[in-house]
Amino acid sequence: MRKPLIAGNWKMNGLRASLLELSGMARAFSPALRAKADMLICPPTTLLFPAAASALGSGIAIGAQDCHAKESGAHTGDLSAAMLFDAGASAVIVGHSERRTDHGETDADVKAKAEAVIAQGMLAIICVGETKAQREAGKALAVVAKQVRGSMPANANAAQVVIAYEPVWAIGTGLTPTIHDIAEIHADIRKNLARLLGKDAAGKIRILYGGSVKPSNAKEILALTDVDGALVGGASLKAADFMAIVEAA
């Protein structure tokens, strides 16, 4: 009932030549695959417009990696949801742990950004996840529950939001939680979504796993009941790797 979403986050990687990888993905995203999984690529903002043009008609959606919560104004260097939409984005990642760490973004900031994304008619991909110290202290479920509560806009529905659970210690490290731990935390996130939004809405919202997803581990992770897709960093930069993950979904 929940169509899997395989999303690629290129982070601060990619020049115009990288659009060749996107064309490769577009060629490989067959009608049969499109019927079974949604696909999204979030390139750096400089590539948003050409990426959207290149992906036109391919079924691949294009998204941004962050946005400002305000509509416009004196915010040098920032970009509004309307600008990202205008450049061809249909989704925006908000609250990635690298933004929470590098730019001190709080749950309240993330919520405001998600609200701006939704107001623009785009999909907000809200990232949550514990650090290694928090996991080792047995606090992963509590930390993530608090982030979900604090970052989720009120009354959001499945067409407006996706949650991405990305344990900070699994990002770019080659480490992943055990299958049991992923299943446990995803089920807990859904339980918390039900408390916030009602059981019906929570049952429809997609919860992605992110953190060292590769072709070799994608199948096992994506087979879990409450894992509705993946948010992929490193392995989304090459068409061959990324499409292997889409195939696994």
Q: How far is the CB of 95 from ligand 13P (least distance, A)?
A: 11
User: Residue from 232, 239, 245, 249 that binds ligand 13P (CB under 6 A)?
Assistant: 232
Q: Which is nearer to ligand 13P, 96 or 100 (CB)?
A: 96
Q: Can you tell me the distance from the alpha carbon of 48 to that of 179, in angstroms, rounded to the nearest whole number? A: 34
3-state SS of the chain is: CCCCEEEEECCCCCCHHHHHHHHHHHHHCCHHHHHHCEEEEECCHHHHHHHHHHHCCCCEEEEECCCECCCCCCCCCCCEHHHHHHCCCCEEEECCHHHHHHCCCCHHHHHHHHHHHHHCCCEEEEEECCCHHHHHCCCHHHHHHHHHHHHCCCCCCCCCEEEEECCHHHCCCCCCCCHHHHHHHHHHHHHHHHHHHCHHHHHHCEEEEECCCCHHHHHHHHCCCCCCEEEECHHHCCHHHHHHHHHHC
Q: How far is the CB of 134 from ligand 13P (least distance, A)?
A: 17
Q: Which is nearer to ligand 13P, 96 or 186 (CB)?
A: 96
Q: Which is nearer to ligand 13P, 115 or 166 (CB)?
A: 166
Which amino acid is located at 101 in the chain? T
| Among the listed residues 193, 103, 115, 205, the one whose alpha carbon sits nearest the alpha carbon of residue 147 | 193
Q: Which is nearer to ligand 13P, 22 or 197 (CB)?
A: 22
Binding to ligand 13P (CB under 6 A) within 76-135 occurs at 96
| Among the listed residues 184, 176, 168, 163, the one whose alpha carbon sits nearest the alpha carbon of residue 218 | 176
Q: How far is the CB of 6 from ligand 13P (least distance, A)?
A: 12
Q: Can you tell me the distance from the alpha carbon of 136 to that of 177, in angstroms, rounded to the nearest whole number? A: 12
Q: How far is the CB of 35 from ligand 13P (least distance, A)?
A: 25
User: Residue from 23, 27, 172, 220 that binds ligand 13P (CB under 6 A)?
Assistant: 172
**Taking a C-beta distance cutoff of 8 angstroms, is the pair 246, 213 a contact?**
no
Q: Which is nearer to ligand 13P, 197 or 213 (CB)?
A: 213
Binding to ligand 13P (CB under 6 A) within 184-213 occurs at 210-213
Q: How far is the CB of 148 from ligand 13P (least distance, A)?
A: 17
The reply on whether position 234 binds ligand 13P by CB under 6 A is yes
One symbol per residue from 42 to 81: x for binding ligand 13P (CB under 6 A), - otherwise; what is it? ----------------------------------------
Q: Which residue of the chain is nearest ligand 13P when measured via CB?
A: 233
Active-site residue list: 96, 166
User: Residue from 41, 140, 171, 207 that binds ligand 13P (CB under 6 A)?
Assistant: 171
Of 77-85, 114-122, 229-237, 241-249, the window that binds ligand 13P (rule: CB under 6 A) is 229-237
Interaction site with ligand 13P (CB under 6 A): 9, 96, 166, 171-172, 210-213, 231-235
